[in-house]
Amino acid sequence: MAAPSQPVLFETRDHERWGEYISGAYGSSIRLGSPKDGHLLRHTRLAVDTFAIDTVQTIDMTYSVESLPTLMISRHRTAAFEYRSEGAEHRFGPGEMFLLSRSEVGTPYWLRTPQGGLQGISVPFPVLGQVAATAETRRPAPLLFTDLRPATRAAARQLGATIDYLEASLRDRPRIMAEPLVAGAAGRMLAATVLHTFPNTALFEPTIEDRHDAHSATLRRAMAFIDDNAHHDINAADIAAAAHVSLRALQYAFRRHRDTTPMGYLRQARLHQAHRELLAASPVGVTVTEIAARWGFFHPGRFAAYYRAVYACPPSQTLRREER
């Protein structure tokens, strides 16, 4: 297991240091306006390899950003933002959620932040690419988000709830979130929710070519790869590459022949391995939560529900079997 992720706190009243810090934190050239020195600025980061959640206490300030290497989502509950990019101006009101970056190509933008607390959520574009397929089947095109605002209020609420849950998990259960399979699964869950929240160029329905590739041999190759690699942090894009088909063809093959998804089958394979580990473990010095996390299950309640559906008992009963 990787070392548990601890909150990284940076505080300063020196705005030059603040500019240097955030440029390094976000991997971009960022120039600040000319605010008065002396005001406390605070940045707290909770992060794993697949996403980061930042909480920032700032003042009324402007930022000129060259570009961002990750997708960045901004949340502020109490005040308005001003945003300019590609010749367009936007104003986002209190409580709105919006994007600061739209593609891995990156474009410069100008932002004015209000005084108070705000939240920034960054998701690397490669993680988004693990759950998204773009219009080009044989030569994938870069993923592009076509609107800075969520498609619907319901989608925004769902994304907000997902972010809040992951933030609490990073803060309260750092050892669990540091498990490689958990970090991968959590990042892809967030990425999938983001893709369903903001309009973008990803396609989820198979093309004619995808349907042609979704035969039983594709399924057999994919299942063999999953069975052999369930202990690694693999994703749907990895499985598609191993099966020599597009991501949509892979998804359609599982839906057509197994009535599930590639990640659903991977979950079944990992559930089986967790069951074997529960059977072999001593009930002293080990917990269901630890075993579940090693196999990528970071939500204890969902793991228990999956387990009960397959094995007709709670996982804790399997672990305590020697006590009976």
pLDDT in tens, 115-131: 888 899 999 999 998 88
pLDDT attached to residue 37:
66
Query: Could you give the CA distance from residue 213 to residue 219 in angstroms, rounded to a whole number?
Result: 10
pLDDT attached to residue 35:
65
Band (134; pLDDT cuts 50, 70, 90) = low
pLDDT attached to residue 4:
57
**Mutual angle of helices 216-229 and 247-258, in 10-degree steps:** 100
Give the tokens for residue 11: 């505080």
Counting every residue written for the chain, the total comes to: 324
Query: Could you give the CA distance from residue 308 to residue 278 in angstroms, rounded to a whole number?
Result: 13
In this predicted model, which residue has the larger pLDDT, 102 or 284? 102
pLDDT attached to residue 324:
42
In this predicted model, which residue has the larger pLDDT, 156 or 35? 156
Maximum CA pair distance of the chain?
71
pLDDT attached to residue 157:
95
Provide DSSP, 44-76. Answer: EEEEETTEEEEEEEE-SEEEEES--SEEEEEE-
Q: What is the pLDDT of residues 135-185, one digit of tens each?
A: 655 556 788 999 999 999 999 999 999 999 999 999 999 989 989 999 999
- Check pLDDT > 80 for residue 2: no
The tally of CA atoms less than 13 A away on the side-chain side of residue 192 is 12
Share of the chain above pLDDT 90, in %: 65
- Check pLDDT > 50 for residue 194: yes
Paired residues of 74 in beta bridges: 98, 120
Mean pLDDT of the 228-241 span: 94
pTM of the model as a whole: 0.88
- Check pLDDT > 80 for residue 204: no
Mean pLDDT of the 69-77 span: 90
pLDDT attached to residue 5:
63
Task: Output the average pLDDT for the chain.
Answer: 89
pLDDT attached to residue 323:
46
